[in-house]
């Protein structure tokens, strides 16, 4: 008897709960259709107003094919998609939204990179990889305003294969870094002794004829950064980027080393009278530049050694770029020579200035080295 009464009681409770759920469901459906009927009334009323306005000379077009859009999100943004028709006399054009400054640390950086030179590289492949790079090797971030305009200068001769790899890696890195940049390849014509520092002076001068730049990055064509957090822009002091190359065991070879990749602002570059023009052959010019910086009251700053790592493309020593036997004597006399040897005394002749899809090439004649003193 007790079990029978208990079963009936549970049955009544279950029926009551089901009845409450049904009532709740009916109420929610009524509210739901009421709200959306109001929303549909607003949309169709504005649509009719838009049609009437189009008859009076006003036309509105809406792109409803937005990615990830749903009908519910369309309803939620109907007020923005269907503006009210205003008298033509009160119509004011929308103001362009200002572009924000680029962040100090761009969010798209990936950190340590895998750099290899085994795969075949072509200019066609590099061009397809970088469709947003414009003629002359120029790029401007589309979504933010870079604080500097950077010219990247590369001294060059007979390194076409190296250039392909450099462009393959550096264009994507620079874009992720949100750098407003252009790339200038300064080609020394002829087979006379190579002069790296003088070519860098030429690149500085010719880049400023092409556009107004705040910052200059000077890079060898065979050095690839292994970390995109090594940001290619200028700092309050001259910057040495390539502080840990694989050929040196990822260590700085000596405290005054300033070779490979460096950066100076326009003001810093002019303060040291640019780079020396009289270092013909391999070696010495980067130590002279380091001396110029310190002698003018500045100091060299560097990234963390874990970030400033570089891989060098292996190659044989270039012909007509033998070690300069006079480099050690010249380095000791930087204080006496830097005011009379530099950007202020630069002479050269441009034979070709041509913009390619991925870079600008400037081919120049820079003269010949003076005859070496005879040793009796």
Residues with a catalytic annotation lie at 220, 222, 282, 285-286, 312, 315, 317
Closest CA to 313 of 25, 97, 115, 170: 115
Rounded to whole angstroms, how far apart are CA atoms 35 and 75?
A: 11
Q: Using CA atoms, how far apart are residues 264 and 116, in angstroms rounded to an integer?
A: 29
Report the alpha-carbon distance of residue 338 to residue 288 in Å, rounded: 9
Place of tokens 């200059």: 216
Angle subtended at Cα 269 by Cα 263 and Cα 272, rounded to the nearest 5 degrees: 125
Report whether 100 contacts 171 (CB < 8 A).
no
Secondary structure string (H, E, C) spanning 75-112: HHCHHHHCCCCCCHHHCCCCCCCCCCECCCCCCCCCCE
């Amino acid at each position: 008897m007790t079990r029978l009464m208990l079963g009936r009681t549970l049955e009544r409770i279950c029926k009551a709960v089901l009845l409450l759920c049904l009532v709740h469901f009916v109420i929610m459906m009524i509210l739901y259709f009421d709200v959306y009927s109001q929303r549909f009334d607003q949309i169709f009323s504005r649509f009719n107003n838009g049609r009437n306005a189009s008859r009076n000379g006003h036309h509105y077009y809406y792109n409803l094919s937005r990615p990830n859009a749903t009908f519910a999100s369309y309803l939620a943004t109907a007020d923005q998609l269907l503006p009210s028709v205003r008298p033509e006399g009160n119509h004011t054009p929308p103001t362009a939204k200002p572009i924000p400054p680029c962040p100090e640390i761009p969010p798209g950086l990936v950190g340590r990179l895998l750099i290899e030179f085994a795969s075949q590289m072509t200019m066609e492949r590099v061009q397809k990889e970088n469709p947003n790079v414009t003629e002359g090797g120029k790029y401007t971030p589309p979504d933010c305003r870079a604080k500097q305009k950077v010219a990247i200068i590369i001294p060059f001769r007979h390194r076409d294969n190296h250039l392909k790899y450099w462009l393959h890696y550096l264009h994507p890195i620079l874009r992720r870094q949100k750098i407003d940049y252009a790339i200038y390849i300064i080609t020394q014509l002829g087979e006379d002794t190579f002069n790296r520092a003088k070519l860098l002076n030429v690149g500085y001068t010719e880049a400023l004829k092409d556009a107004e730049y705040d910052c200059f990055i000077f890079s060898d064509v065979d050095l690839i950064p292994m970390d995109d957090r090594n940001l290619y822009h200028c700092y309050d002091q001259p910057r040495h980027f390539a502080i840990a190359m694989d050929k040196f065991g990822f260590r700085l070879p000596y405290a005054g080393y300033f070779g490979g990749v460096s950066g100076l602002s326009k003001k810093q570059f002019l303060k040291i009278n640019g780079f020396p023009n009289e270092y013909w052959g391999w070696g010495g010019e980067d130590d002279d530049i380091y001396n110029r910086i310190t002698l003018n009251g500045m100091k060299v700053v560097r990234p963390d050694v874990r970030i400033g790592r570089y891989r060098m493309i292996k190659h044989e020593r270039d012909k007509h770029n033998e070690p300069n036997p006079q480099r050690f004597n010249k380095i000791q006399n930087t204080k006496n020579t830097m005011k009379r040897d530099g950007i202020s005394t630069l002479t050269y002749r441009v034979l070709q200035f041509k913009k390619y899809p991925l870079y600008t090439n400037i081919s120049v004649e820079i003269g010949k080295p003076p005859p070496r003193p005879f040793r009796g």
